[in-house]
C-alpha cells in the first residue's frame, strides 16, 4: 500500500458525501485489491491474478475488475464509433477483437443491506441477490498488513472456509466481493485451500460515480448455477445456440477443453 489514509479521515469524507451519495451514488473512497486465484483447481500452473476495485459511498458500494472498468469504457466507445460510421456507410459493424480480455467478470453491488451479484454466462449478463450472508466469528489473532493493525475473523461461504483480516482503524463494514459485515474494512481474505487470495493494494480518496450494470437478466442463485452447469457440461451445444454460423471441429474441441480448465468459481 503506497499511502496510509486514516480511518477517521475516510469516515469523515463518507459522512460529508452522505446526503449527496444517496441521490446520485458517488464515492470518494476507492480501494484496490489484488486477487490471485486458480482457474483450474487441478492445475497449480493455472494461477492468475486480477486487480479489483471497490468503490465505497454512503450505504452504497461497487466491486469490479479494474480491467473491466477500462474494457467497458472501450466497448462503449467502440459502439459509439460504429453507430457514427453506420450513418454514412449504411451498415453497422462492431469489432471488439482488440479489447483486452477480463479474468474476473463478476461485479458486486451493495445498496444499504441489499447485496447483488452480477455475473456473465457466455453473452448473457445475469444479476441475483447474494443469498448467503457470512456468519463471521471474530478471533483474537492480530497482525499488521501494511500500516494497519488487523484482527482475524473466520467464516463459511458456500461451503468454503474463509479467513479474513480487517482493521478497526477504518470502521467501515466493507470488503471485496461479498465479504462484508465486519466492524472494519477487510484488507485480506482467503479460503483454506488458497484457491482465492485477496489482498489490499491501496486506498485513495477519489470522487467517482457508482454505476452497476443496467442491462441484465434477473434471476436467483439456484437458477444461475443451473444455467452455468449446463454450459460447463455441454459448452458446444450452448455456444451453438448463440452462434450464427456452424462451428468447426477445431473450435468445438477448443470450447470443450477451455471450459474444463475453468472450474474454480468464487461463489
Mean pLDDT in consecutive groups of 10 residues from the start of the chain, 267 residues: 54 48 69 95 90 94 91 54 50 49 91 93 92 88 96 94 97 96 97 96 92 90 94 86 78 81 86
Q: What is the sign, positive or negative, of the torsion defined by CA atoms of 181, 187, 192, 197? A: positive
- Residue 13 has a pLDDT of 55
Q: How far apart are CA 56 and CA 120, in angstroms?
A: 23
The DSSP result for the chain, as a single string, is ------HHHHHHHHHHTHHHHHHH-EEEEEEEEEEEEESSTT-GGGEEEEEEEEEEESSEEEEEEHHHHHHHHHHHHHHHHHHHHHHHHSS-----TTSPP-S---EEEEETTEEEEEEEETTEEEEEE-------EEEEEEEEETTEEEEEEEEEETTEEEEEEEETTS-----STT---SSSEEEEEEETT-SEEEEEEEEEEEEEE-----S-EE--HHHHHHHHHHHHH-HHHHHHHH-SSPPPHHHHHHHHHHHHT------
Q: How far apart are CA 20 and CA 32, in angstroms?
A: 23
**Phi, psi values for residue 205, rounded to 5°:** -95, 105
Q: Using DSSP bridges, classify how beta strands 107-111 and 217-218 pair: parallel, antiparallel or unpaired.
A: unpaired
- Residue 250 has a pLDDT of 85
- Residue 5 has a pLDDT of 57
- Residue 96 has a pLDDT of 44
Q: How far apart are CA 120 and CA 103, in angstroms?
A: 12
- Residue 92 has a pLDDT of 40
Amino acid at each position: 500500500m503506497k499511502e496510509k489514509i486514516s480511518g477517521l479521515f475516510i469516515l469523515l469524507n463518507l459522512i460529508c458525501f452522505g446526503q449527496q451519495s444517496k441521490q446520485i451514488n458517488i464515492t470518494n473512497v476507492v480501494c484496490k485489491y489484488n486477487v490471485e486465484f486458480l482457474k483450474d483447481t487441478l492445475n497449480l500452473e493455472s494461477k492468475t491474478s486480477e486487480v479489483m476495485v471497490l468503490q465505497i459511498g454512503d450505504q452504497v458500494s461497487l466491486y469490479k475488475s479494474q480491467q473491466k472498468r477500462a474494457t467497458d469504457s472501450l466497448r462503449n466507445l467502440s459502439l459509439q464509433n460504429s453507430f457514427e460510421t453506420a450513418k454514412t456507410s449504411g451498415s453497422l459493424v462492431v469489432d471488439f477483437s482488440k479489447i483486452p480480455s477480463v479474468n474476473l467478470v463478476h461485479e458486486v453491488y451493495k445498496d444499504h443491506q441489499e447485496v447483488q451479484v452480477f455475473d456473465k454466462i457466455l453473452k448473457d449478463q445475469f444479476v441475483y441477490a447474494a443469498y448467503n450472508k457470512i456468519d463471521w466469528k471474530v478471533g483474537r489473532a492480530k497482525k499488521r498488513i501494511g500500516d494497519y493493525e488487523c484482527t482475524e475473523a473466520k467464516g463459511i461461504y458456500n461451503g468454503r472456509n474463509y479467513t479474513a483480516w480487517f482493521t478497526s482503524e477504518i470502521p467501515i463494514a466493507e470488503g471485496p466481493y461479498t465479504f462484508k459485515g465486519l466492524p472494519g474494512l477487510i484488507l485480506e481474505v482467503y479460503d483454506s485451500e488458497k484457491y482465492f487470495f485477496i489482498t489490499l493494494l491501496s486506498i485513495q480518496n477519489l470522487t467517482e460515480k457508482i454505476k452497476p450494470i443496467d442491462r441484465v437478466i434477473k434471476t436467483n442463485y439456484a437458477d444461475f448455477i443451473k444455467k452455468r452447469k449446463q454450459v460447463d457440461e455441454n459448452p458446444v451445444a450452448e455456444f451453438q445456440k448463440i452462434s450464427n454460423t456452424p462451428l468447426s471441429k477445431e473450435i468445438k474441441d477448443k470450447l470443450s477443453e477451455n471450459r474444463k480448465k475453468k472450474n474454480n468459481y468464487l461463489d
